[in-house]
Structure formats: structure tokens, C-alpha cells
Structure 1
Amino acid sequence: MPAVRPPVLSDPRKRRFLIKLSGLIAGGMFIDGFILGGIGLVMPAMTKDLGLSFAWQGLIGASALIGIFVGGPLGGYLADKFGRKPLFTIDLAIFLLGSASQFFVTEAWQLFAIRLVMGMAIGADYAIGWPLLAEFSPARLRGKLLAFQEVAWYIGYLVAFAVGYYMSTVFNADWRIILGMSTIPSVIVFLLRLGSPESPRWLISKGRVEEGRAVAAMYMEESELDDVHTETRGSTSIFRLFSPQYRKATIFVCVYWVCNVTPYFAIATFAPIVLESTGIKDGLTGALALNGVVVIGAVTSMFLIEKVGRRKLAIPPLWIGAGALVIIGLFAHVSPVIILACFIIFSFANAVSTALTGVFPGEVFPTEIRGAGVGFATAISRVGAAAGTFLIPLSLSGLGIGATMIIAAVICIIGALVSQRLAPETKGLSLNAASAPL
């Protein structure tokens, strides 16, 4: 018998809407990657211009991550209470103002404060955009569309790194201009988000049943309507994340996310410094190549997720990444070629598993606390990311490259062990079934 192809969205208008919504949310992820991708590149110039200490380097590098820690839970709570639609544009407006302010920085504390606020807006965007996309997406595409958000993040990171590298080497552009370039995509995404609809699942969960069903009928597949209609009302209290029903899900998504992003941010933010410390002379070029590998890894995960499932993409790459980091830690000064190969392996494997950090949080929590769940997981993940970003210059100078990489490998191993125990398989499940208690 010939293979049965999955159904496609028969209504072109609904198909266009889903593509547009995915793109608008991906735009926020692109911007997040963009603001984080450029900071490590301009760190040497900023350090010289502003006279930064090691502590200030770490604080500025981690400032946006600290902001995400605050903005994620706050944005998620507000999105669950007042709806996804109003906050979908407000958070981008705040980010846009912060982005433009970077052109006028003269002191270290100013840059720290601006990027802190930008991080808060981005943190809120995670907790608003991912639930919104999950709540509109058909089950057979949900994983791919959510994973695409991480692809957009990596592309933003890579573009920022590439543009900054080109502008700094060819034009010798001021670091303020390089950082302020995030204003351009921010304006575009902000304008395109105006007029986006409210989540039908959220409307129904708030008792606005007829309104929610009307929105669902206008924008969603027929096959998804029955699942949407079974939405029930429930408490939006963030404390439900720690109830017996959802405690395991909360622990899993937080630990999984932390153990993926902590070593990545620690290495990627200061990639030129890390690579040069292993004996690779052109650290900037090497770091740019690694970011390209990361994009390939995320794209691979996006295309495989609905074929092989979540667990097979979440767990093995953590073990592979840990092994690559152990080799770097033990043989850091033996051969630059071997070290670069291991960095490539780690970057690819880490990107494959990290793509799932955009999938699990949007699936494992029910509608009434989905924003809070994504926001809380975002916040906890950024504790690890901020710690890695802040501590790596201190670790490299105090412990050396070998010990630093071994510590990063241990973090990956913890993530693998917890994931083997708690990671659910949500492939093909309706959103209500996927968010049932673990």
C-alpha cells in the first residue's frame, strides 16, 4: 500500500495565519538571539572603552539573562490572567525602546540597566508567544513549529555575530552601533504583530466559550476543534506548578532547560576567548563557524521531531555533548584540531537537544497555567545561563580551560539523567492530552 500522507491545512487562509503566527513568534526569538549573540563579540571593545572589570564583563554579559529571569514569570502570569493578545505587542514595544537606547550608552551601569529591561521584555515574550503558538497549532505540526522557534533564536544569534564581526573588522564600527542594530528587526516584528487574535483555548478557559469557539473556527483545523472545545476553567495560580499533578513536569522542564543552556551560554558568549585559550588563534572565525553548526543542529531537530519523537532528540545529544566536553577538558592543549572538532560535536548535539526546550514547556502545562509554566521554566533556565555567562571569565582565569569544560560536562550529564527519568513523549498527542499530569 502507498504511504498515507498526513492531511494539510485545506483552508489557505488558515494556513497563511499559522505561518504568519509562527513567524511573528519566531521574530521575538530571533531578536532574543540577536541581542545575546552580539554581546560577546563586542566585549573586548566595551571593556577597553568603558574600563570594565571582570565582574562588569560578567554582569553586562548576563544582564539580559537576568532580565529574562524576572520577565518570564511575570509575563507568563499576566498572559494567563489577562490574555496572550495584549501582551504580545506590549512586550515588543518595551524591547524596542530599550534596543534604541543602546546607541546612547556612556557608562557601564547604563548598558546593564538597558539590557536588563530588554531581557525582561524578551522573557515575557517566551511566556506569551510559545503558549499562543501551541494553542493554535495542530497536533501533527506543534512540535515542529515550536522547535522552529529555537531555530529562529540560533539564526538571530548567528546573524548578530556575523554582522557584528563584519562591522567591527571591515568598518571598525563602534560597539554601540553593533548592539543597537537589534532596533531594526524589533520595529519590523512589532508592526507585524499588531492585530493578532486572542488564543481560543485561553478564551474558553476563562468562560468566554462562544468567543473562543468562533476564533477557533476562523483560524484552526477542523480536527483540532473537538480538543479546543474540551478546555475547562481552572486556577491561574503559579503555585499549581508545584502541585502534585504538575510538580514532575515543572522539575523536568526546568532541569532540562538549565542543563542545555548553561554550558552553551558559558561557551558561546565568550567563544572567541574559549577557543583562543585552547590554542586556536583565530577565535572569532572559529566561534562564527560554531554558531553555523548550531543552526544546522537546530534545523535537524525541527525536521526530525515529528518523525522520531521528543525523547530520542532530547536525551542522547546530552550524553554526546558531555563526552565532547570531557575530551576538551582532558586534552585542552594537545591539538587545536581535535579541540575544534569536539566543539563542533558539542555545538551540534547541544542544538539538537536545546530545540526541545522550545517544545516541552509549551506542551506539558494546561492552558490556565501554560504561560506561568513557560515563564517559570524560562526564568530558571536563565539562572543557569546567567551563571554560566557571569562565571566563565572567572573560571577560565582561576581554574583554567580543562576544569571549566569538565564542569560543563557534568551539567550535561545531570540533564541527561533527569530527562531519562522524567521526559514525556508527546508526539502526536492533542494539547490537552500532552498537558495531562505526568
Structure 2
Amino acid sequence: MTSPMTTPTEVGPRPTRSERLDRLPFNAQHRRLLVGSGIGWALDAMDVGLISFVMAALAKQWLISPTELSWVASIGFVGMAIGASLGGLLADRIGRRNVFALTLLVYGLATGAAGLSTGLAMLIGLRFVVGLGLGAELPVASTLVSEYAPARIRGRVVVILEAFWAVGWILAALVGYFVVPASDDGWRWALFIGIVPALYALYVRARLPESVRFLEGRGRTAEAEQAVRTFEAPSGVAAVESPEAPPAPRPRWSDLWSDGLRTRTAALWAAWFGINFSYYGAFIWIPSLLVSQGFSLTRSFGFTLIITLAQLPGYGVAAFLIEAWGRRATLATFLVGSAVSAYAFGQAGSEGAIIAAGCALSFFNLGAWGALYAVTPEVYPTFLRGTGSGSAAAFGRIASILAPLSVPWLLDLGGSGLVFTVFGVAFALAAVASLALPEWRGRSLA
């Protein structure tokens, strides 16, 4: 007969390590992981954002044509497409933390070296290397955080991680506003600042934990148990003995298109393609487009800074709605809002209309990014999570390559109005695709 003092966990099945993590309240260890990964994320965003200001400065200093400028923007995304695909696969094979640290080191050093560029060819070559590191870092960081976050708030935590992107882009806008116009070498000093991620990589490698699910899949159960206990300690949770997890199968890209996964993979890739095309097409070119409309370099950078600030409330609202409404509804709503805002920006004629439509575009677009990064790791099982997230990001980077290249052609064809109408259509198609994604709110990761 069971004693009245016996608890259900004593007589029931032992919880797995993943279940123990899902039941924890958000504590100091979660906060350390979130902030530590978020700083890397912000540095990534700063690097991507800086190139838009560098482009506007080089157009005047080096007399670069719009087509040449588009290659400066797009070549980084070629590297990001390759980096995202390879980085995700490596994360499933050698670990999330190791790949995260390596990517920070690669793109930090390459960004600093780009500041020494003596010509367009050298700058383009180094931007490709920068892209390799940047592309691999983002899906790996979101995968690591999602695998530690408690199930009931996992989406919100990942959106908050994505909100660090706005912090990095604001830093880029500040550097662009104060440093780039300060002298003829201002763009070089801006890129030298981008070497900071290489230094931060040392902290990441030493202080951030490896994924418990990855460690279990590789048979490193002692390390996995220690990691779980480290996260349980701040909440005063007594350690229990978890059953051994089965070894993980070897990840393969072909698994993404197996029965049960091919529909969600297709929907995810379509959403990534649409949002990448419109986001990078718009935000990489906005400073240069404003300059071409007659605004001074400093004034166009000031407009961009104001527009960028609207990203933060977009993330905040998305972080709330993603657990209240769910992933699909939040993502689709913010993508529709992005589509409407993109069209309005293309029709804006006055300074007030430009700023209002730009702020709306920032608000909805970055909220959509937060929701997309929250749902992406949830689509796949643990052994395939890094590969799946990286492959979706890689496919999206194809769009980010094409978008900057298409802007000069679209401008010649129909001006800014046509450019942002096309971006609006891409957002709308991404919204339709998002409705086919699975809803994982409140559920444990597979």
C-alpha cells in the first residue's frame, strides 16, 4: 500500500533530463544563457547593419555604381547561405556551443580585416568570409537557447533572444551616424569595431553550456546530467536519476524531406525565403535610397536610426503574443502587417510619411523575425534540429542574395514604389506559407 507521504514522482516513471528542464522556472542560469547568446546575436546584427552604412559612404568615396554596391551587399549573403547550411549540420555533429564560438571568431576577424580593404575586390572577398560565420551563428544560437528554455515560455524566450538583433542594429545605426560620416576613413573604423565578436568567442567557449539533448544523443550522459543539475540548482530542485536516452541517429539532409517532415520543411523554407527577400532588400538599401532621393548622408542615417528603434516594441509585442496566440497566428499577423507597411513605405513622399511607414515596417518585420526564429527549432526532432534550422536559414539566404541585386533593376523599372510593392508581395506569400507550420505552443521539444 502506498504511503500518504509518497509523491507521484517516487512511484511513477522517472522524468527524462529534457522533462526536468521543461519543468523548471526561468532562473539565473536561463538568464545567463539568454544574455550570453543574445550578445553574440547583437554583435551579428551590428555586423550586418554596418554594411548598409558602409555602402552609402563608399558610393560617394569610391564612386561605386548601384550594381557594384548590390554585390557588396549580396556577397555576404552568399557566404551566409553556405555557412547556415554547414553550420547547422556541424551543430548536430560536434555541438551547438563549439559552432557558436567558431562562427563568432570567423566573422569578427574577417570584419576587422575588411576595414583594411584597398579596393572593391578585397572588400567583396572578405565580406564573403564574414557571411560564412554570420550564417552559421544565428540558427545555432536559437537552437541552443530553445533546447534549454522551459516548454511553457520557450517561444517567448527565443523571441527575446531575437530582440537582441534590434540592439545590434541600433548599435550599427549609432556607429553609422557618428563614426562613418566623421572622416573619409570613417567606414574603416566602423568595420574595425566589428572585430569585437572575435574576442567574445573566448567567453562563449568557456562559459556557455552545451545542449543537454545533444550530449545525450552522443552518449555523453555524465556531462548532460551535470548540465541539467547546474540549471536546477538556482531553483532549489532536488536532482533525480533520469533514464538513459537512446543514441541519436546521424543527421542527413535527406531526412528533412522524409514522411511527416516534408510539408513543414517546404512551408518553413517558403517563410524564410519571403521574409529574407523583403527584409534584406529593404533595410540594406534604405540609407542609400534616402541619399539618392536628395537627403544628406547624415540625415538619411538619422532617419534610419529612428526607424530602427521601432524594432524593439515589435519584438516586445511578438514575445507576448507568441505564447498568448501561438506561433502560427503571431507569425502570420506580423507578416501581413509587414506587407502593408512595405507598400506604404514605397508610396511615402514626405519626411513624416517616410518615418511613420518605416517605423511600422520595422515593428512588424522584426516581430515576424522573432516568431520565425521561435518556431523554426520546434519543427524538427533533436538529432535533426540544427540541420533543419540551418537548412531553412540557408534557403532564406538565397533570397537575401537576390534581393539587393534586384533593387537597382526594380528601381529602373518602376522606382521605389515598385521596389516596396514587390517586398510587400513577398511578405504576403510568407504569411500564407506560415499557416502550414505546426503549432508547438506549450509542448516539449521532440
TM-score for the superposition, normalised by structure 2: 0.86
C-alpha distance in structure 1 between counterparts of 2:404 and 2:244, whole Å: 44
C-alpha distance in structure 1 between counterparts of 2:77 and 2:431, whole Å: 23
Question: Does the residue aligned with 1:363 lie in a helix, a strand or coil?
Answer: helix
For 2:68, the equivalent position in structure 1 comes to: 56
C-alpha distance in structure 2 between counterparts of 1:348 and 1:17, whole Å: 30
- Mapped contact 1:96–1:183 kept (Cα < 8 A): yes
C-alpha distance in structure 2 between counterparts of 1:274 and 1:226, whole Å: 60
* Gap runs ≥5 in structure 1: 1-6, 433-438
For 1:140, the equivalent position in structure 2 comes to: 152
Cα deviation 1:102-160 (Å, max 9, x = unaligned): 23111111111112111111212123222221212211231122112221112111211
For 1:435, the equivalent position in structure 2 comes to: none
- Mapped contact 2:92–2:386 kept (Cα < 8 A): yes
2:300 to 279, 283, 298: 283
Question: Does the residue aligned with 1:194 lie in a helix, a strand or coil?
Answer: helix
For 1:251, the equivalent position in structure 2 comes to: 266
Partner AA of 2:27 in structure 1: R
Identity %: 26
C-alpha distance in structure 1 between counterparts of 2:244 and 2:337, whole Å: 42
1:163 aligns to 2:168 (yes or no): no
Partner AA of 1:266 in structure 2: G
- Matched residue pairs, number? 420
CA separation of 1:80 and 1:405: change in aligned 2, threshold 3 A: same
C-alpha distance in structure 2 between counterparts of 1:248 and 1:195, whole Å: 38
CA separation of 1:328 and 1:153: change in aligned 2, threshold 3 A: closer
Bigger Rg over Cα:
2
- Mapped contact 1:301–1:355 kept (Cα < 8 A): yes
1:240 to 255, 266, 279: 255
- Mapped contact 1:261–1:354 kept (Cα < 8 A): no
For 1:178, the equivalent position in structure 2 comes to: 190
1:352 to 367, 378, 398: 367
For 1:45, the equivalent position in structure 2 comes to: 57
C-alpha distance in structure 2 between counterparts of 1:115 and 1:213, whole Å: 41
Within-5 A mapping of 1:65-84: 65-84=77-96
Give the stretch that moved more between structures: 44-53 or 316-325. 44-53
1:90 aligns to 2:102 (yes or no): yes
Partner AA of 2:389 in structure 1: V
C-alpha distance in structure 2 between counterparts of 1:86 and 1:30, whole Å: 19
- CA drift of 1:191 comes to 2.7
- CA drift of 1:325 comes to 2.9
C-alpha distance in structure 2 between counterparts of 1:152 and 1:225, whole Å: 35
1:297 aligns to 2:311 (yes or no): no
Within-5 A mapping of 1:401-420: 401-420=416-435
TM-score for the superposition, normalised by structure 1: 0.87
1:215 to 227, 252, 257: 227
- CA drift of 1:19 comes to 1.6
Cα deviation 1:242-297 (Å, max 9, x = unaligned): 11221122122221122223212111111123345678774322221111112221
Within-5 A mapping of 1:250-399: 250-275=265-290, 282-329=299-346, 331-333=347-349, 335-399=350-414
C-alpha distance in structure 2 between counterparts of 1:106 and 1:225, whole Å: 60
- Mapped contact 1:71–1:120 kept (Cα < 8 A): yes
C-alpha distance in structure 2 between counterparts of 1:339 and 1:215, whole Å: 49
CA separation of 1:276 and 1:53: change in aligned 2, threshold 3 A: closer
Partner AA of 1:294 in structure 2: Q
C-alpha distance in structure 2 between counterparts of 1:224 and 1:412, whole Å: 47
CA separation of 1:132 and 1:94: change in aligned 2, threshold 3 A: same
2:141 to 129, 140, 149: 129
Partner AA of 2:402 in structure 1: A
Give the stretch that moved more between structures: 304-313 or 233-242. 304-313
- CA drift of 1:170 comes to 4.7
CA separation of 1:278 and 1:111: change in aligned 2, threshold 3 A: closer
- Mapped contact 2:56–2:288 kept (Cα < 8 A): no
For 1:428, the equivalent position in structure 2 comes to: 442
C-alpha distance in structure 2 between counterparts of 1:196 and 1:289, whole Å: 33
